[in-house]
Amino acid sequence: MTPRAKFPATQPEPITVGRELPAISVSPGTIESCDFLDAESVDAIAVGVGAPIAGDDELQPRAGTVHASARYRIDLAELAHRSHFKAAPGTTHVIDLPVTHRGSGAVLPWQGLPLRIILMGVGQGTDDDLRKAGAALAEVSKGLGKVVTTVAARSDDRGTRHFVEGYLLGAYSSWSRKAKAAPVPAQELVLLGPNSQEAVDTARRHAWLTWIARDLATIPSNIKTPAWLASQFVAIAKTYGVEAKTWSGKQLKDQGFGGVEAVGQGSVNPPVMVQLSYVPEKKAKDHKHVVLVGKGISFDTGGISIKRPRETMITMKTDMTGAADAFAAVIGAATSKIGHSVTAMLPLAENHFGANSTRPSDVITIFGGKTVEIANTDAEGRVVMADALAYGSLELGADLLIDVATLTGAAAMSLGHSHAALFTNNEDLSKRFLEAAEETGEALWRMPLVHEYSEALESQVADLRNIPEHAAGAGAVVAALFLEQFANGLPWVHLDIAGPSHRNSKHHEANKGPTGFGARVVLEVLEKL
């Protein structure tokens, strides 16, 4: 009998969350003045071209385009026209310069200079246009060494920030165990012109946190158990001086976290509650304590009320994106040293079906004493978040509450993949979040808190039902009304990110798969508070 072949036992590489971003440097020079633009040190130069303005069919030159044309002695605008380049934001056109005329031996004017010019469509040059242009450059320059660009050279820091942020978000490659590695970003991006290093640093901080959220959401749930997630959160938090505390096992019951315990008790991977606390060394004069809550369902089968159809379960490893966003935001608050205290409460559980699963019609007790009738075990996110919101409002002395969750299919059906639903009981917070959405490009749409719909949550045997007894419509609104019950009157914001948290294809700076949507808009609010 032929013996079986023996294969060496190998262990997969350890997972690194929080990978290093591509290098970006700032140079005050121009294309004409830089003496390092030679073929040996620079692989490509990217220059911006604007779309035609109303009443004119001519492409609009942007900073660096004219200089590049003069230096290379070629008409870039003419080449763009010949290629039917429309200069729409997020589009590119690559010009590969020949080395010599074939057989002539002639030396061309651009001999010794980089042999690749990338024309970047920047539309009308708005913040959003520049963000799209940055993402497009990241895609087209993958695998190169040094890339030099003038695209971000605008008179204000905003242009630099949005271009760099788009570039870094577009440069992201998804975590993978494939044998063949994904193309890597260019080794270095050099920004020519009046670009602010502070703006670059802000963009890097926001993009890096989004990378973390994307990585965490991408990792499969056979690795990403509640305990594994908690260990990642705690380890990274301590690196940035953020204090960490966890509850698991009997500690959850003793502390009164009945929601997290009920949702996670059907899984072999037990639930965990994580608290991460950042306290500034120098507090702002109007110091506030902000409590962030993020839904952390490491995988969602729907429990006994199992998900239907089966396709809806495929992306459920990403049902902890809210927790990843809240975690990223508190780390961002620490790295930017804001003057307000920020605590993240992260309820982590795997919603599974098993001999010990919570049943429909069971009644559980949330932290603080309110009772909830579980009408559907697939409405579990609001149940674990209720514990965290109640703890923040009753125990931590929060001044305001912010929660982020992939909560309802209703929000995704209403707003698609471009916008998250914004619910709040506070007009000032609504204004702050909508302004932050404009700044970051993470679009929000304010939805109404229709309190008349609260009657749909009434129960005969408990203080609340987790979903209506009969289909009442407005599913995202009703879910928000449930969460509001545990804010206990504090200023509160709820972001339902079910739609934009995941994409089936790459779209500008939003990658295919988990997008990390939510981390940047929350951090933007914290930094401007």
> Could you tell me which of 445, 453, 493, 444 has the C-alpha nearest to residue 477?
453
Name the catalytic one among 142, 158, 288, 307.
307
* Token pair belonging to 153: 């050279």
Question: 116 an active-site residue?
Answer: no
Q: Are 230 and 266 in contact (CB under 8 A)?
A: no
- Joined together, the tokens standing for residue 483 give 């969460």
Distances in whole angstroms, Cα of residue 178 to Cα of each of 174, 182, 184: 11, 9, 14
Give yes or no: 307 in active site: yes
Cβ–Cβ < 8 Å for 118, 45: yes
Catalytic residue among 146, 205, 382, 520: 382
- Rounded to 5, what percent of the chain is helix, strand, coil? 35, 20, 45
Q: Please, are residues 37 and 31 in contact by the beta-carbon 8 Å criterion?
A: yes
Contacts 24+ apart (CB under 8 A), 443-447: 443/418, 443/419, 443/500, 444/419, 444/420, 444/495, 444/521, 445/415, 445/419, 445/420, 445/421, 446/422, 447/411, 447/414, 447/421, 447/422, 447/423, 447/476, 447/477, 447/480
Neighbours of 227 (CB within 10 A): 17
Least Cα distance to 371 among 380, 362, 358 occurs for 362
Token digits for 110? 């651009």
Active site residues: 307, 382
